[in-house]
């Protein structure tokens, strides 16, 4: 029997999720024995047109060329799995969607904006093609990626992580930074998968794994306001890395005003 | 029965820790870490939270230092005894595939290398332990819990410093430790009235230099506990909460509390009696080995009420109601008492400060008015 084949495609992104994949170390050698890696630029394998069983996609769809390319990935792949916050929920670059600031930002950021050919909006992959499974995180957790690969190789969809970061904090016996220090932690609305990394080191979660299921963003917004956060900061807590996730998009926009400057 | 053993001068507290270590225990006690009082491994009395006290309110916990020679001048922090016995995450069994494709299952030995001795346990947590025993030992006969429970040695400290969120007096579980420990201490400025509550406790006392207790010390200790009970202003309704809550499943208050509730599971995780868990498998990447895991779950999690293909409790309202009606209501049917011991952790450690006593009182308000 032929080994299953995989590809890791890069779109608008920082490559950090590919690196989290590569960081798996010894497990990567095991993986190489289990699957044919046909395309994975950070690992030095390049065949963008390869037909594969599983395509992992890093990055959001942000240019005309990417709109075309993601369609070809879909056509060439049995399963498409998004890899990380950009591919799953837009990433940082999707902040330009918020108030049509694409052109203004482009002109402000680039020395020669005339050479920059980007779309007005940066979109999650699912806005353009059907996605079979989503992996969250900025970056993804390498262990979680390999666990998903294992389950896909067994022929089942990976188990969806439902829990909020709070559950993982408590399992790890990390002390709540919101309760002890009044830090504006996003853990109560954020999907776990990171291992409660930030709170375990005394930092408030900033929601890089996107919204958990059944989130009460209104209640958390009220709490953040109660901790003294002005509306601009409440908006930033929701509209940061996963601003295109519907629950965070809606919650953020309730506090966001176009052209926000620091209050 | 708890019996007075004698007075241990403050300067001799180290001898108690030494004695426990000498008897082969891994000694756990309260220390200040991550801005809270947590249970950690200790071997020196200097590690104890000398002079620390806490200020707890719904959704808020702050430590501060006060001018006292005492080491136990605080109410419980976030950690109960629960994580030591009902592990937050553990492997229950393993399976490996050999080269012929046969599967070999193997058990995990849950016995700890050393039995635990925990110093500083409060009455509420002893009551919670008795409830967890009823569940894990009598109800489900759990070998993992049992292995860790078997050698557990408990040094209670009667609680003279309840937090504003505490209500053990109203549940009848504190502030005095009356059962379930091996030793119990009343902390006074110059030392401890030591009480022994088990043969093992008496044996530990035999190695300590204890003096006679005088009546002033006895009176000071008892007065402090009476005050500690009177200082508590939160209480659960004194009515029949089983019938009271189950008769009010459509009360509008469920919706109101759901609008504030984050369904984050913090309350059930810090609750010393909640025992829900989820099981999952963690196969190795090559697919030849796998571990079967158990980890804490919560009735507030989406996965907890997910049956095959549908969600039993899709709304937060239903999840909060499930928790409260079970904890305060149907727990009576299962375990012969309420599942709440009044430790107040769910109030303090709720990120938005939802107060179980306020909710229970609001939902049962009309029965309270009817009461004579």
Question: Quick check: helix, strand or coil at residue A163?
Answer: coil
Nearest to B124 by CA among B91, B88, B75: B75
A159/B280 Cβ within 8 A: yes
C-alpha span between B272 and B296 (Å, rounded):
12
The mean per-residue pLDDT over the stretch A127-134 comes to: 98
pLDDT above 50 for A87: yes
C-alpha span between A241 and A95 (Å, rounded):
8
**Taking phi first (over 0 means left), then psi (-120 to 50 degrees means alpha), and beta for anything else, what does residue B141 get?**
left
Output the pLDDT for position A261.
57
- Chain B contact probe: residue of A4, A166, A181 with most B CBs at under 10 A: A166
| B331 interfacial to chain A (CB closer than 8 Å) | no
Which residue in A has a C-alpha nearest to residue B260's C-alpha? A219
Name which of A170, A172, A214 is nearest B270 (Cβ-Cβ).
A170
* Residue A201: burial class (beta carbons within 10 Å; 0-12, 13-18, 19+): exposed
Tokens describing residue B370:
């009817």
B281 chain-A contacts, CB cut-off 8 A:
none
Residue B163 CA, distance from chain mean position: 15
**Taking phi first (over 0 means left), then psi (-120 to 50 degrees means alpha), and beta for anything else, what does residue B238 get?**
alpha
Which residue in B has a C-alpha nearest to residue A154's C-alpha? B287
Question: What CATH topology corresponds to A5-153?
Answer: Rossmann fold (3.40.50)
Please give the full DSSP string across B106-139, using - where no structure is assigned.
EE-----SS-EEEEEE-HHHHHHHHHHHIIIIII
Instruction: Encode A225-251: b = buried (16+ Cβ within 10 Å), e = exposed.
Output: eebebebebbbbbbbbbbbbbebbbeb
Cβ–Cβ under 8 Å, residues B19 and B207: yes
Residues 6+ apart with CB under 8 A from A75: none
A167/B269 Cβ within 8 A: yes
| B35 interfacial to chain A (CB closer than 8 Å) | yes
Interface of A with B (CB under 8 A): 27, 30-31, 33-34, 146-147, 149-150, 153-154, 159, 162-164, 166-167, 170-176, 178-182, 185, 187-189, 202, 212-216, 218-220, 222-223
- Chain A contact probe: residue of B351, B353, B354, B355 with most A CBs at under 10 A: B351
Question: Quick check: helix, strand or coil at residue B244?
Answer: helix
| B367 interfacial to chain A (CB closer than 8 Å) | no
Query: Sign (positive/negative) of CA torsion A163, B353, B250, B131?
Result: positive
Instruction: Encode B249-279: b = buried (16+ Cβ within 10 Å), e = exposed.
Output: eebebbeebbebbbbbbbbbbbbbbbbbbbe
Please give the full DSSP string across A190-219, using - where no structure is assigned.
BB--S-SHHHHTT-----TT-B-SS--HHH
In tens digits, chain B (372 residues) has pLDDT values of 899 999 999 999 999 999 999 999 999 999 999 999 999 999 999 999 999 999 999 999 999 999 999 999 999 999 999 999 999 999 999 999 999 999 999 999 999 999 999 999 999 999 999 999 999 999 999 999 999 999 999 999 999 999 999 999 999 999 999 999 999 999 999 999 999 999 999 999 998 999 999 999 999 999 999 999 999 999 999 888 999 999 999 999 999 999 999 999 999 999 999 999 999 999 999 999 999 999 999 999 988 988 888 899 999 999 999 999 999 999 999 999 999 999 999 999 999 999 999 999 999 987 544 444
Instruction: Encode A99-109: b = buried (16+ Cβ within 10 Å), e = exposed.
Output: eeebeeebeee
**Taking phi first (over 0 means left), then psi (-120 to 50 degrees means alpha), and beta for anything else, what does residue A60 get?**
beta
Cβ–Cβ under 8 Å, residues B172 and B179: no
* DSSP conformational letter for A96: G
Name which of B59, B60, B316 is nearest A216 (Cβ-Cβ).
B316
| B263 interfacial to chain A (CB closer than 8 Å) | yes
Output the pLDDT for position B371.
41
Cβ–Cβ under 8 Å, residues B191 and B8: yes
Q: Nearest CA to CA, how far is A174 from chain B (Å)?
A: 8
A202 chain-B contacts, CB cut-off 8 A:
34
A223/B286 Cβ within 8 A: no
Cβ–Cβ under 8 Å, residues B264 and B351: yes
Output the pLDDT for position A161.
86
Output the pLDDT for position A162.
84
Which residue in A has a C-alpha nearest to residue B79's C-alpha? A173
Helices A231-238 and A246-253, interaxial angle, to 10°?
170
A31 chain-B contacts, CB cut-off 8 A:
285
Which residue in B has a C-alpha nearest to residue A224's C-alpha? B352
Look up the pTM and report it. Answer: 0.96
Tokens describing residue B54:
């806490």
Strand B103-107 with B89-97, pairing: antiparallel
> Could you report the predicted ipTM of this complex, rounded to two decimals?
0.95
Percent of chain A at pLDDT above 70?
98
The mean per-residue pLDDT over the stretch A15-44 comes to: 93
C-alpha span between B306 and A136 (Å, rounded):
21
Output the pLDDT for position A1.
56
C-alpha span between B221 and B228 (Å, rounded):
11
- Give the number of beta-carbon pairs within 8 Å between A and B: 126
A214 chain-B contacts, CB cut-off 8 A:
263, 302, 314, 316
Interior CA angle at A35 toward A31 and A37, to 5°? Answer: 90
Q: Beta strands of A128-244 (E only): which ranges?
A: 133-135
Residue A180 CA, distance from chain mean position: 29
Q: Nearest CA to CA, how far is B277 from chain A (Å)?
A: 11
A171/B269 Cβ within 8 A: yes
Output the pLDDT for position B177.
97
Cβ–Cβ under 8 Å, residues B11 and B17: no
Q: Residues A185-226: pLDDT tens digits?
A: 999 999 999 999 999 999 999 999 999 989 999 999 999 999
Name which of B285, B314, B351 is nearest A176 (Cβ-Cβ).
B351
Output the pLDDT for position B280.
94
B38/A175 Cβ within 8 A: yes
pLDDT above 90 for A118: yes
Distances in Å between the Cα of A208 and the Cα atoms of A138, A181, A240, B309, B361 are 5, 21, 8, 28, 39
- Alpha-helical segments (H) within B306-344: 316-325, 331-335
**Residue at token pair 């009010």:** B248
* Residue A2: burial class (beta carbons within 10 Å; 0-12, 13-18, 19+): exposed
Please give the full DSSP string across B245-297, using - where no structure is assigned.
HHTTTT-HHHHHHHHH----SHHHHH-SS---EEEEEEE-TTSSEEEEEEEE-
Question: Quick check: helix, strand or coil at residue A68?
Answer: helix
Domain layout of chain A by residue ranges? 5-153, 165-253
Q: Nearest CA to CA, how far is A105 from chain B (Å)?
A: 36
B295/A179 Cβ within 8 A: no
Q: Nearest CA to CA, how far is A101 from chain B (Å)?
A: 33
């Amino acid at each position: 029997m032929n080994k299953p084949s995989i590809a890791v495609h890069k779109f608008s992104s920082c490559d950090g999720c590919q690196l989290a994949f590569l960081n798996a170390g010894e497990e990567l050698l095991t993986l190489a024995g289990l699957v044919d890696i046909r395309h994975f630029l950070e690992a030095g394998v390049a065949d963008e047109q390869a037909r594969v069983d599983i395509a992992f996609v890093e990055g959001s769809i942000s240019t005309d060329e990417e709109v075309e390319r993601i369609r070809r990935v879909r056509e060439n792949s049995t399963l498409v799995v998004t890899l990380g916050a950009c591919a799953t929920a837009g990433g940082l670059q999707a902040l330009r969607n918020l108030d049509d600031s694409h052109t203004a930002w482009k002109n402000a950021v680039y020395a020669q904006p005339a050479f920059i050919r980007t779309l007005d909006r940066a979109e999650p992959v699912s806005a353009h093609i059907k996605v079979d499974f989503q992996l969250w995180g900025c970056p993804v957790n390498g262990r979680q990626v390999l666990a998903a690969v294992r389950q896909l190789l067994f022929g089942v969809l990976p188990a969806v992580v439902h829990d909020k970061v709070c559950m993982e904090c408590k399992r790890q016996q990390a002390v709540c930074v919101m309760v002890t220090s009044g830090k504006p932690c996003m853990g109560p609305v954020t999907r776990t998968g990171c291992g409660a990394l930030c709170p375990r080191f005394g930092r408030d979660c900033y929601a890089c794994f996107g919204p958990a299921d059944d989130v009460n963003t209104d209640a958390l917004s009220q709490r953040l306001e109660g901790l003294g956060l002005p509306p601009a900061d409440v908006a930033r807590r929701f509209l940061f890395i996963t601003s295109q996730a519907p629950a965070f998009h809606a919650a953020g926009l309730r506090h966001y005003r176009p052209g926000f400057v620091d209050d | 029965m708890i019996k007075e053993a004698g007075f241990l001068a403050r300067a001799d507290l180290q001898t108690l820790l030494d004695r426990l270590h000498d008897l082969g225990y891994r000694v756990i006690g309260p220390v200040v870490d991550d801005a809270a009082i947590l249970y950690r491994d200790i071997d020196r009395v200097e590690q104890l939270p000398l002079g620390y006290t806490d200020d707890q309110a719904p959704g808020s916990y702050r430590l501060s230092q006060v001018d006292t020679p005492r080491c136990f001048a605080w109410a419980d922090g976030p950690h109960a005894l629960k994580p030591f016995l009902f592990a937050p995450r553990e492997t229950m069994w393993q399976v490996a595939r050999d080269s012929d494709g046969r599967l070999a299952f193997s058990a995990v030995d849950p016995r700890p290398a050393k039995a635990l001795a925990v110093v500083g346990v409060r009455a509420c947590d002893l009551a919670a332990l008795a409830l967890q025993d009823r569940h894990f030992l009598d109800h489900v006969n759990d070998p993992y819990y049992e292995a860790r429970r078997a050698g557990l040695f408990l040094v209670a400290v009667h609680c003279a410093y309840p937090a504003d969120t505490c209500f053990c007096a109203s549940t009848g579980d504190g502030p005095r430790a009356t059962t379930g420990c091996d030793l119990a201490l009343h902390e006074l400025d110059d030392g401890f009235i030591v009480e022994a509550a088990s043969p093992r406790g008496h044996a530990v006392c035999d190695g300590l230099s204890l003096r006679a207790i005088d009546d002033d010390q006895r009176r000071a200790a008892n007065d402090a506990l009476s005050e500690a009970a009177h200082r508590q202003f939160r209480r659960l309704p004194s009515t029949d909460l089983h019938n009271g809550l189950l008769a009010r499943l459509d009360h509008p208050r469920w919706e109101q509390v759901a609008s504030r509730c984050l369904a984050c599971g913090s309350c059930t995780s810090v609750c010393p009696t909640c025992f829900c868990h989820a099981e999952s498998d963690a196969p190795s990447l090559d697919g030849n080995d796998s571990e079967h895991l158990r980890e804490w779950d919560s009735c507030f999690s989406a996965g907890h009420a997910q049956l095959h293909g549908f969600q039993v409790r899709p709304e937060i309202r239903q999840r909060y109601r499930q928790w409260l009606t079970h904890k305060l209501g149907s727990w009576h049917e299962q375990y012969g008492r309420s599942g709440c011991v009044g430790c107040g952790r769910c109030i303090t450690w709720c990120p938005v400060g939802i107060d179980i006593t306020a909710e229970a009182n609001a939902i049962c308000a009309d029965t309270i008015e009817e009461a004579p």
